Each structure stands twice: as C-alpha cells, then as structure tokens.
C-alpha cells in the first residue's frame, strides 16, 4: 500500500467504468442467456379506456414455441396490486393497480396478456394471434375536463380527483397570509403555465430476467432501485424477502424513469414461479414509450404579489397534476417535491401551494429528472420575468432585489426549509461575465432597432433546488413510505486491497470512480486498489438506491463515515502494535506513526495484523471492516445562474441557442469531469423540454409520439456547446460539503431557454408560447395580433391537452 | 437460409430465418452483446456496426443481407489489447456516462472520421445526428471525436496508427455520408 501523492477529491479522474463500456464488455440485463430460458412478450391495450369483454388465446397457445399464454384472470389471485409508496394525504384515492389488466384497461399501452415462448420472436408472433374484445368507455384526457367528473377513469372511486395537498405559510407559521398579501399588493400578476408531458427516454430499454432455480428468485432488472424493488416485490407477492435477490447490472440510464416497480418486473417473477424456468422480458422502444412511466404534465396557475419597486410579497400556486391512470411508486409525491421550491431563492413574505392530483386515461406519471422541482423553477423564473416586464425593471435586477443575500445564510424560507449555504451574487457575477451580458444586451437592442428578421433573446434562470434526498423524518412527515438514509461498507482485505459496498445504485453516474476517490483520500490507499460493489442485494444488502441527486451527498457521506470507523479501529490497533498511547498516534498518507518518533506502521500492515489476529488488543474483534449508515439532517441546495441567448427567426419560427452559460454551485466537487458531464446532460434534457419534447395523444388517447421518430430526443445537431463554470459554497449538511448535481442542469435550463425565446419576441407582441417551443408554435405566436393575447393561439402541435398558456 | 458472415475477424456459417435482424443474429446467435438495441425505428443508432467498413444500423438490416460481408462491431476494434484511438478518446474526454449509446456512437464516429479527417464542431454534430445519447448532452462526445481525429492523424504516433489503419483506411470512399 502506498500513499497517494495528491488529494483525490477535486481531481478529474477518468472513469473506471469506461473500460467495459467502450469495448462492448458491458453487463446489460438483456445480455443474459440462461439455460432453458423462456421469453415473455406483452400484449398491450390499443385503447385508452375499455372493458375487456373477452380474450381468446386459443390460436396463440397453439403457435410454435409457445409455452403458455396468460391473461389477467389467470394471474388475478396472485398478482396483487402494484405499490404506491407515497400516499400524500390520509384520504388519497388510489385505485387497485393490477400488473396485468383483469377486466378493464385504463390507458393505451396497459398490459393485457402475456405470451411465454422459447424465443422472443415466437413470443412476438403469438401476440398477434390473441383476440381481445373491448367495450369502449369514455376517454378522459384533459386535466380540467377530468376535474369536472363527468366521465370517470375509475368509476369505483366516484371522482377523478386523487388528492389535494396544501402548504400554507400562515398555517405553517413560516410566513404571512398570501390572500392578505395579494389584497394589499401594488401589483398582482397571474399566469397559467403548462408543463407538457415528457418521456424519460433512457437509452437502454427496460429488461427483466428472473431465475427461480436453487430455491431463490434472482431478479435482474434494468432498474435504479434494486433495494426498493426487492422490498416491494416481496410485499406484493408474499415471497419472503430473504428468498429474493435483485441485481441491477449495468443500467443504461434512468433519469427517474427506472425508479419504479414495474408491471413487467412483477409479471416476470410470477411467470418464473409458475413455470419453474428462467424468464426474460425486454421491451421494444415503442413499448417503453407506451408503458414506462412519463414525467411532468401539470397545469400551473401562479399568482404573484409585489410592490411597484419590484419587491415580491406573496406567491400562490395552484396546480393540477396529471397522475395518468394509476398511482405508481411515487406518482402522487412528484408534484409535492416541488411544493417547497416555487419560492426558490426569493424572499416572499407569504406562500400558498395547493396541488390537486387528477386521474386521466394516460400512462401513469412518476419521477423524471428533477421531479417536481423543474416545474417549480420554471414557474417562478417565468414569473420573475413577467414581473420585470410589468414593472419595466431589468430582469436580473429584479431577481437580485429579491434573492437571499450571501450573508443571510443559513436562511429559513417561507416554505419552511433552511437553506444552509449559497452565494447567488457570486454565481450570477461569474455567469454574466462569461456570457458577456452587457454586450449581448447591446446586440439585442441593435437587432430590435434594425428590425432584423432574426431577433436575439436573453433568458435568465437563477435557480435553486432541494436534493440529497432525504432526511427520513421529513419523508415521514410527508407520508412517504420509506426512509432517506444511505449506507456503505468498507472491507479491508488482507492483501491491502479494499472493497467498498454502497447502497446507491449507479446507472451512468460513475460511482465506482468517485467512491474510489473518496476512500483513496480518506484511507490513503491507491485509487486502483479500491473496488466498488453495488446493485446486488446479495452483496449490498441494504440501501435506498439512486435518485433525487442523493448518491454523493447521502451515500458518499455514509462512505466517509465507514472510512472513519475503519481508521478509528486501525488507530487503536496501530497504537497496540507500536506500543504507544493511542493519543500519540498520527495518521497521514496511509501510515500511522507515533508523534515525534520515526516509528511507522502502514495501514496495510495494521489491516493484516487485524486479519491474522495473532496479537490484538483485549476485546478487539479480528478483521478490519466497517459499516455506516447516514441519515441527513437537511436537504442540500445547489444553486446557480444560467444564461441563454437564442436567435429567433421571425420568418420561420426557428429557435437557435447561440450561447448557453451555466454557472452552478453544487458544493464541493469530488470529480469535476463527472460533474461537468452531469451538467451537460442535464442541460440537454431541460433544453429538450423547452424546445423539442412532448408526449402527445390523439383524441382517443393513443400516444402519437411512441417512437424516436415522433418523440424528439435531441441529437448532437440540435444542441449547442455549453459554457460551464462553478462557484463553491460547501454544503454544511454533510462532511463532504457536496450538494448534488444530477438534476441541476435540467431544473435550471428550461426556464432559461423559454425566457430567452420570449425575450426575443415579446416586443413583437408575443406574451407566451407553450412548450415545446417548436418552429410552428413560435411562428404561429408571431402571426397573432398583439393586442388580443398572441400567446393564446400559440399552442398547437399534436397535444391532447387544450391550450392553457398565454393567459394574462 | 444459409449465411456466411465474417464478424470481427471470425467467419461464421449459420442457418437463419430470413426475418432475423442482423443485430439479433449478432447478439443472440454469436453472443456479440456489445452491440445493443435502443429503438425499433433506426433513429437512435445504438446498434451501429460496420459492414465492409461502412457504418450501418444493424436493427435495420437482416442477417441474410450480411451474407458474404465483413461485419465489425465494437468488440472487434481493439487490437492486441490496445484500444482504437476513438475508444481511447471517448474514455479520455469522458464522452460516455451510462454507456449504452457508446458502442454505436464510437462506430459512427469512426465512419465519420474516415470521411472527415479533421472535422469542426458542426461537422461532428451533423455526422452523429443519427446516434442519440441521453446522458452527455453530446459536448464531450464532440470533443472526443475531434480528439480522436488528432490521435489518428498521419504522424500522430506509431501506436495510434498501428490500430487505426485497418478499420479506417480499409473503408472505400463510395456512398456513405
């Protein structure tokens, strides 16, 4: 064991993970081939709402290679209901959620029957031979129509409203009464924004393999949450948790989309149990679009009260959130994650948030990168621009006037959170410098004066977010069904190598590299000597997995604590070995020494001594391993300033991002290369919401964007180069000082882009354009008559939801 | 139908159904699971391989169409334990996160660099338009491809040249982009 020369934390280490990924040696779930393995194919409902009156599987059953065809009736006695772990209110309405529809389908894409065959091709062939008779029911698609309860998604519930969740600053004692602030306000701005429905669109389609041999159920799944999945599969099926092993091998992206207990995971398990043979299911892309959960889909009515000098006083948020047809794992809680973030970095006196969760005949929604916080950030950053326009105050100045000053931290907000650290002035100054803000404004003025056909817009997003999910006591108070802690173990091996076991479950984030850096620093062992094990409940027996930008802030902290436990024990043993008082033992660069002497014991020698256990202090257990579990006291609060310049071609409606600057404060950075990568990818997804992506339905509820030809995940040619930088105020809520970075780019970028486009065309009479701001929508908005609310005609495309934007 | 295909330097003779997709032949029959399927419509490019030195989307081809041809996959790029310069560049520039698009992205990048030895930002972005990545925002991918171009330049060093030649210069400049 040799000492590491320079600190690992802060170093742009190239990733350990890459070796297998760039050579095709990766372990994707779909790569698995087990002896005697069967293949499952899923017949999906082509209609959004119907009673199943008959299913004839006789032809399918006799097709070549088909082992069995199963319907919901066949599995009704054992399939239970898919879990929802977040009943946000005591009286929340939640329908039974069968993995395989029994007598009714509630969205187009819902699983109706299964073919189990000897090959995936044979299974797919037999799907076409299944005859299902549907009796159509009225289709409920529009949120506001659904709210009228004329037609019901689940008649047994008696309403399409699942729950209403309220936070009120006056009731919570965190601020004044919002209605009073609105009544007393010099300016009141009211806007409605639509958060279109998005599809996470991870690149690796979901895949599940279940092997029931050897008296165990081993479940391989392309999941973000092996530990939660194991717990939930046990809870739903009654299979002992100790007889279930879940493995998330290499997982090709998730973005919240694989934070789920899916129908297909449960179905593969039930089929493997029934058949006594291994079963695999791998979805096609279209299946993924039709059945994996979607994200966003909210209508946001925002009322902002302010004084004429630009000081904001009150904020009222009224949300309608589309649940889709069922409540999946955390579906109802996603909008609630935004509840504490609408006030953002600004000092409102009063705040009220009311969210009504609504059922429709669409794919269930659930977590998608940012989950609730992008929606909140979008709304508040749009509103700050609207206020700036209303009062004719420079948009950055109006933000500065209202944000929390750096000397005011820690700061308890009107939503009741305590922001531990931040410096909005510093991030903003750096962003404006990199962007060339003043020059850009001059160029904009020039083009306006010239009447150029290509106008320039500048968009601002001074965001914050809450991440590092989450303090368990807060989750409990929010009625979430699990904790938010994370765990780590360190095993010091007798040869001096180190095994790290983490409860986080990376799927592209690079934990193997970053966790190695942390341990290398802490223990003074070489980076290369550390192996990180994850994603297998047999080796990593507990954990809360990866989502909500939590892995480093929570899981990394558990790792630091485990390392400190190793060191504490090693220090005791080293003192014993060096025959000195423990208080005189110093540790540096992987070696213990006695203060003021040349006596030294390398950590490796101490580990070996612990392992052979020939001479240990009285009462010391052999070995040198440690476990630690960390439950954070607080969330962490990354923030930053993003500036976006767009060119809008007023003749075609085409939008081009010509400059994008992101300055983020994500606390202490362990690996800048990986952090930059997270920001880049986050920006791409946030920009995609602003400009490209939307899940669309026809009037019958058929998803009309069910392929990558229709759902516009941006390519390299659609995105600009980004200019990124960082400012740093370490988080005080964990010893690493890390705040989390996974979602920041996505949360920040959508409003920066939208504000920019509107800034380019507002002087032409456009007041709002719905997302995604396609050339068609931008062009249409530009044709509108400015005096009659151009934004209202801007919606269009293939959206199933009626236009709601542009109201003012 | 009987086919004979050379994949990554090994000739395989197999009976296949006419409808079998090339990507499924590679993955299921030959165990070449380095090549993956990301969509069904040819939009994502995750399944990109080379057919006689040109990039093709192997989910848009039948195995029988590869009869008598040479297929190179991500698994056939490294030589004698040495990575292809494009593989090296993807690693050095952190051009991958989850890595699912990476095999196809690398295969397409090699094809692109055969046509454009010193591509600018715009050329790389256009050249990779048929390959989707959800993780990286493409910034580091563009950087990696440009870095690889430098690594593969004549005179860039014997090590790089050694294993770039076969796959890049063997490509005939007909058709393609």
Domain boundary assignment for chain A: 32-137+203-253+258-291, 295-469+634-793, 485-630
Considering the domain architecture, whether residues B94 and B59 belong to the same structural domain is answered as no
- Distance CA(B22)–CA(B54), nearest Å, equals 15
Tokens of A200: 């996470």
Residue A264 CB-half CA count within 13 A: 33
Contact A684 B126 (CB under 8 A): no
Contacts A677 to B, Cβ<8 Å: 94, 97, 135-136, 140
- Distance CA(A614)–CA(A620), nearest Å, equals 11
Per-residue burial over A8-25, b if 16 or more Cβ lie within 10 Å, else e, is: bbebebbbbbbeebbbbe
pLDDT at B166 over 70: no
Query: What is chain B's length?
Result: 177
- What string of DSSP letters covers A587-624? EETTEEEETTS--EEEHHHHHHHHHH-SS--TTPPSS-
Contacts B34 to A, Cβ<8 Å: 23-26
- Distance CA(B177)–CA(B169), nearest Å, equals 16
Give strand pairing partners of A531: A499
Give the three-state DSSP class for A703.
Answer: strand
Contacts A28 to B, Cβ<8 Å: 33, 36, 100
Considering the domain architecture, whether residues B97 and B161 belong to the same structural domain is answered as yes
- Residue A503 contacts residue A540 (beta carbons within 8 Å): yes
Considering the domain architecture, whether residues B63 and B96 belong to the same structural domain is answered as no
For A106-206, list the strands marked E by DSSP.
111-117, 131-136, 161-168, 187-198
Give the three-state DSSP class for B95.
Answer: coil
3-state helix vs strand vs coil in chain B, percent to 5: 40, 15, 45
Contacts A709 to B, Cβ<8 Å: 41, 43
Structurally, chain B folds into a number of domains equal to: 2
- What string of DSSP letters covers A354-366? EEEEEE-SSPPB-
Determine the distance in angstroms separating the CA of A431 from the nearest CA of chain B, rounded to an integer.
19
B150 falls within a domain: yes
- Distance CA(B164)–CA(B167), nearest Å, equals 6
Alpha helices in B15-173 (DSSP H): 22-24, 85-92, 102-115, 121-127, 139-151, 158-169
- Distance CA(A678)–CA(A684), nearest Å, equals 10
Considering the domain architecture, whether residues B107 and B64 belong to the same structural domain is answered as no
* Of A24, A22, A16, A86, nearest in space to A506 by CA: A16
- Distance CA(B78)–CA(B163), nearest Å, equals 8
Predicted confidence band of residue B154 (pLDDT cuts 50, 70, 90): confident
The interface residues of chain A toward chain B in range 668-687, judged by CB-CB distance below 8 A, are 673-674, 676-678, 680-685
The interface residues of chain A toward chain B in range 257-316, judged by CB-CB distance below 8 A, are 284-286
Neighbours of A534 (CB within 10 A): 24
The CATH number assigned to the domain holding B23 equals 3.10.20.30
Residues 6+ apart with CB under 8 A from B122: none
Residues 6+ apart with CB under 8 A from B71: B5, B6, B7, B8, B22, B26, B49, B50, B51, B58
Class of domain A32-137+203-253+258-291: alpha beta
- Residue B61 contacts residue B51 (beta carbons within 8 Å): yes
Q: Is B142 on the interface with A (CB under 8 A)?
A: yes
Q: Is A121 on the interface with B (CB under 8 A)?
A: yes
Contact B136 A682 (CB under 8 A): no
- Residue A54 contacts residue A72 (beta carbons within 8 Å): no
The interface residues of chain A toward chain B in range 223-262, judged by CB-CB distance below 8 A, are 250-253, 255
End-to-end CA distance of chain A: 67
Supply the DSSP symbol for B25: I
* Matching residue, tokens 């909500």: A548
pLDDT score of A214: 87
| Residue that is last in its domain, among B29, B58, B76 | B76
The CA distances from residue B26 to A670, A730, B12, in Å, are 39, 49, 11
Q: What CATH number does the domain located at A295-469+634-793 have? A: 3.30.365.10
- Distance CA(A433)–CA(A649), nearest Å, equals 26
pLDDT at B164 over 90: no
Contact B134 A707 (CB under 8 A): no
| Closest-CA residue of chain B to A745 | B137
Contact A251 B131 (CB under 8 A): no
Considering the domain architecture, whether residues B103 and B129 belong to the same structural domain is answered as yes
Considering the domain architecture, whether residues B66 and B117 belong to the same structural domain is answered as no
The CATH number assigned to the domain holding B153 equals 1.10.150.120
Q: Do the interacting molecules here have an ipTM over 0.85?
A: yes
For testing the chain B interface, which of A124, A677, A716, A721 should be mutated: the one with the most B CBs within 10 Å? A716
For testing the chain A interface, which of B24, B46, B98, B123 should be mutated: the one with the most A CBs within 10 Å? B98
- Residue A79 contacts residue A37 (beta carbons within 8 Å): no
- Distance CA(B7)–CA(A615), nearest Å, equals 59
- Distance CA(A468)–CA(A549), nearest Å, equals 5
pLDDT at B171 over 50: no
- Residue A708 contacts residue A430 (beta carbons within 8 Å): no
pLDDT score of A803: 36
Tokens of A332: 């109802």
**Could you say which of A674, A707, A716 has the minimum Cβ distance to residue B141?**
A716
| Residue that is last in its domain, among B33, B50, B76 | B76
- Distance CA(A283)–CA(A300), nearest Å, equals 34
The bridge status of strand A723-726 relative to strand A655-665 is parallel
Cis bond before residue A772 (omega within 30° of 0): yes
Contacts A202 to B, Cβ<8 Å: 98, 100, 134
Contact B43 A683 (CB under 8 A): no
Pick the CATH number of A485-630 from 3.40.50.2000, 3.30.365.10, 3.40.50.300, 2.60.110.10: 3.30.365.10
A32-137+203-253+258-291 matches A485-630 in fold = no
Evaluated on CA atoms A598, A604, A610, A611, the torsion sign reads: negative
pLDDT score of A358: 98
Query: What is the extent of the structural domain holding B91?
Result: 85-169
Q: If 0-12 CB within 10 Å is exposed, 13-18 middle and 19+ buried, where does residue A416 land?
A: middle
Supply the DSSP symbol for B44: S
Considering the domain architecture, whether residues B40 and B13 belong to the same structural domain is answered as yes
- Distance CA(A36)–CA(A209), nearest Å, equals 12
pLDDT score of A791: 40
Contact A680 B74 (CB under 8 A): no
Q: Is B146 on the interface with A (CB under 8 A)?
A: no
B177 falls within a domain: no
The interface residues of chain B toward chain A in range 109-138, judged by CB-CB distance below 8 A, are 121, 124-126, 128-138
Give strand pairing partners of A659: A645
Considering the domain architecture, whether residues B90 and B66 belong to the same structural domain is answered as no
Give strand pairing partners of A533: A501
Tokens of B111: 């094809």
pLDDT tens-digit readout, B33-84: 999 999 989 999 999 999 999 999 999 999 999 999 999 999 999 998 899 9
- Distance CA(A454)–CA(A679), nearest Å, equals 29
Neighbours of A615 (CB within 10 A): 9
pLDDT at B175 over 60: no
**Could you say which of A30, A252, A721 has the minimum Cβ distance to residue B98?**
A252
Largest CA distance in chain A: 88
- Helix or strand (DSSP H, E) at A72: helix A72-79
The interface residues of chain B toward chain A in range 50-69, judged by CB-CB distance below 8 A, are none
Give the three-state DSSP class for A192.
Answer: strand
pLDDT score of B156: 67
B126 falls within a domain: yes
Supply the DSSP symbol for A582: G
Q: If 0-12 CB within 10 Å is exposed, 13-18 middle and 19+ buried, where does residue A150 land?
A: exposed
The interface residues of chain B toward chain A in range 156-175, judged by CB-CB distance below 8 A, are none
Contact A23 B74 (CB under 8 A): yes
Neighbours of B120 (CB within 10 A): 10
**Average of pLDDT values for B99-111?**
98
pLDDT tens-digit readout, A314-365: 999 999 999 999 999 999 999 999 999 999 999 999 999 999 999 999 999 9
| Closest-CA residue of chain B to A24 | B34
Contact A22 B74 (CB under 8 A): yes
Q: If 0-12 CB within 10 Å is exposed, 13-18 middle and 19+ buried, where does residue A494 land?
A: middle
* Of A218, A226, A210, A283, nearest in space to A245 by CA: A218
Residue numbers in chain A where pLDDT is lower than 70: 1-5, 785-808
Cis bond before residue A470 (omega within 30° of 0): yes
Contacts A676 to B, Cβ<8 Å: 94, 140
* Of A717, A121, A77, A488, nearest in space to B125 by CA: A717
**Could you say which of B129, B132, B139 has the minimum Cβ distance to residue A680?**
B139
Contact B37 A30 (CB under 8 A): yes
Angle between helical axes of A672-691 and B139-151 (0-180°, round to 10): 120
- Residue B100 contacts residue B166 (beta carbons within 8 Å): no
- Distance CA(A282)–CA(A29), nearest Å, equals 9
3-state helix vs strand vs coil in chain A, percent to 5: 35, 25, 45
Tokens of A394: 């420079």
Considering the domain architecture, whether residues B118 and B51 belong to the same structural domain is answered as no
| Residue that is last in its domain, among B27, B52, B76 | B76
B176 falls within a domain: no
Per-residue burial over A751-786, b if 16 or more Cβ lie within 10 Å, else e, is: bbbbbbbbbbbbebbbbbbbbbbbeebbbbbbebee
* Of A646, A641, A643, A659, nearest in space to A757 by CA: A646
* Of B142, B146, B164, B145, nearest in space to B155 by CA: B164
The interface residues of chain A toward chain B in range 457-516, judged by CB-CB distance below 8 A, are 507-510
The CA distances from residue A391 to A189, A385, A695, A734, in Å, are 11, 10, 36, 41
Considering the domain architecture, whether residues B120 and B163 belong to the same structural domain is answered as yes
Residues 6+ apart with CB under 8 A from A561: A488, A628, A630
């Amino acid at each position: 064991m040799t000492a590491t020369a320079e600190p690992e934390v802060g170093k742009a280490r190239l990733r350990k993970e890459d070796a297998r990924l760039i050579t095709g040696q990766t372990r994707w779930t779909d790569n698995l081939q087990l002896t005697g393995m069967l293949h499952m194919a899923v017949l999906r409902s082509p209609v959004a709402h119907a009673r199943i009156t008959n299913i004839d599987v006789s032809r399918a059953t006799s097709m070549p290679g088909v082992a069995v065809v199963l319907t919901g009736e066949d599995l009704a006695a054992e399939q239970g209901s898919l879990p929802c772990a977040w009943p946000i209110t005591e009286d929340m309405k939640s329908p039974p959620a069968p993995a395989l529809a029994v007598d009714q389908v509630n969205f187009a894409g819902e699983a109706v029957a299964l073919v189990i065959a000897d090959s995936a091709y044979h299974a797919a062939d037999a799907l076409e031979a299944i005859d299902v008779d549907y009796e159509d029911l009225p289709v409920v698609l529009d949120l506001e129509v659904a709210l009228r309860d004329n037609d019901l998604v689940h008649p047994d519930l008696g309403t399409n409203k699942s729950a209403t969740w309220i936070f009120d600053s006056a009731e919570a004692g965190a601020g004044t009464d919002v209605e009073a602030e609105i009544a007393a306000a010099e300016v009141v701005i009211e806007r409605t924004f639509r958060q279109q429905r998005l599809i996470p669109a991870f690149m690796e389609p979901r895949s599940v393999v279940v092997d029931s041999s050897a008296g165990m159920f081993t479940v391989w799944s392309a999941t973000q949450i092996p530990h939660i999945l194991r717990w939930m599969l046990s809870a739903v099926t009654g299979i002992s948790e100790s007889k279930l092993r879940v493995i998330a091998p290499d997982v090709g992206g998730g973005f919240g989309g694989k934070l789920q207990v899916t129908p297909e995971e449960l179905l593969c398990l039930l089929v493997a149990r029934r058949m006594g043979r291994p079963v695999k299911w791998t979805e096609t892309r279209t299946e993924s679009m039709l059945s994996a959960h979607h994200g966003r889909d909210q209508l946001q009515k925002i009322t902002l009260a302010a004084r004429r000098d630009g000081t904001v006083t009150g904020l009222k948020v009224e949300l309608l959130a589309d649940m889709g047809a069922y409540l999946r794992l955390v579906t109802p809680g996603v909008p609630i994650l935004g509840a504490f973030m609408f006030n953002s970095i600004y000092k409102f006196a009063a705040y009220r948030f009311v969210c009504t969760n609504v059922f429709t005949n669409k794919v269930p929604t659930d977590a998608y990168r940012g989950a609730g916080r992008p929606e909140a950030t979008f709304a508040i950053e749009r509103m700050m621009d609207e206020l700036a326009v209303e009062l004719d105050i420079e948009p950055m100045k109006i933000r500065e006037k209202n944000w929390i000053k750096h000397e005011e931290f820690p700061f308890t907000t009107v939503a009741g959170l305590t922001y531990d650290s931040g410096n909005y002035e510093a991030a903003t100054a750096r962003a404006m410098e990199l962007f060339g803000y003043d020059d850009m404004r001059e160029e904009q003025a020039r083009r306006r004066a010239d009447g150029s056909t290509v106008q320039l817009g500048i968009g601002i997003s001074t965001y914050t977010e809450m991440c590092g999910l989450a303090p368990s006591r807060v989750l409990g108070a929010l009625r979430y069904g699990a904790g938010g802690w994370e765990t780590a173990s360190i095993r010091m091996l007798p040869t001096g190598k180190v095994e790290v076991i983490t409860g986080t479950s990376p799927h592209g984030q690079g934990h193997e590299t970053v966790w190695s850096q942390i341990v290398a620093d802490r223990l003074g062992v070489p980076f290369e000597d550390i192996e990180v094990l994850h994603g297998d409940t047999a080796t990593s027996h507990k954990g809360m997995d990866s989502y909500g930008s939590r892995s480093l802030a929570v899981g990394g902290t558990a790792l630091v604590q485990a390392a400190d436990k190793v060191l504490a024990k090693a220090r005791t043993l080293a003192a014993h070995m060096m025959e000195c008082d423990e208080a005189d033992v110093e540790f540096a660069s992987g070696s213990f020494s006695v203060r003021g002497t040349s006596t030294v014991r390398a950590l490796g020698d101490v580990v070996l001594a612990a392992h052979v256990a020939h001479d240990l202090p009285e009462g010391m257990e052999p070995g040198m391993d440690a476990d630690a579990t960390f439950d954070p006291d607080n969330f962490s609060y990354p923030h930053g300033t993003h500036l976006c310049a767009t060119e809008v071609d007023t003749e075609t409606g085409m939008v081009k991002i010509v400059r994008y600057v992101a300055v983020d404060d994500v606390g202490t950075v362990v690996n800048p290369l990986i952090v930059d990568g997270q920001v880049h990818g986050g920006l791409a997804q946030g920009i995609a919401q602003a400009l490209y992506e939307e899940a669309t339905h026809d009037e019958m509820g058929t998803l009309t964007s069910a392929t990558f030809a229709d759902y516009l995940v941006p390519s390299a040619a659609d995105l600009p180069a980004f200019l990124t930088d960082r400012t740093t105020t370490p988080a005080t809520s964990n010893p690493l000082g890390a705040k989390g970075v996974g979602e920041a780019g996505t949360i920040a970028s959508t409003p920066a882009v939208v504000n920019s486009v509107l800034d380019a065309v507002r002087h032409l009479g456009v007041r709002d354009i719905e997302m995604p701001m396609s050339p068609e929508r931008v062009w249409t908005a530009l044709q509108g008559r400015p005096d009659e609310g151009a934004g209202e005609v801007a919606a269009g495309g293939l959206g199933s939801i009626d236009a709601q934007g542009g109201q003012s | 139908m009987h086919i004979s295909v050379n994949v990554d330097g090994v000739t395989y003779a197999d009976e296949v159904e006419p409808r079998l997709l090339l990507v499924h032949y590679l993955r299921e029959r030959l165990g070449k699971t380095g090549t993956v399927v990301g969509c069904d419509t040819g939009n994502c490019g995750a399944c990109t391989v080379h057919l006689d030195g040109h990039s093709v989307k192997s989910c848009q081809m039948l195995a029988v169409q590869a009869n008598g041809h040479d297929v190179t996959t991500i698994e056939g790029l490294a030589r004698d334990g040495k990575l292809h310069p494009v593989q090296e560049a993807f690693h050095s520039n952190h051009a991958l996160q989850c890595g699912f698009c990476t095999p196809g992205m690398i295969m397409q990048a090699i094809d692109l660099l055969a046509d454009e030895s010193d591509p600018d930002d715009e050329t790389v972005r256009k050249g990779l338009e048929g390959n989707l990545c959800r993780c990286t925002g493409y910034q580091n991918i563009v950087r990696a491809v440009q870095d690889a171009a430098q690594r593969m330049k004549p005179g860039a060093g014997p090590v790089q040249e050694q294993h770039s030649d076969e796959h890049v210069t063997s490509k005939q400049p007909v058709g393609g982009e």
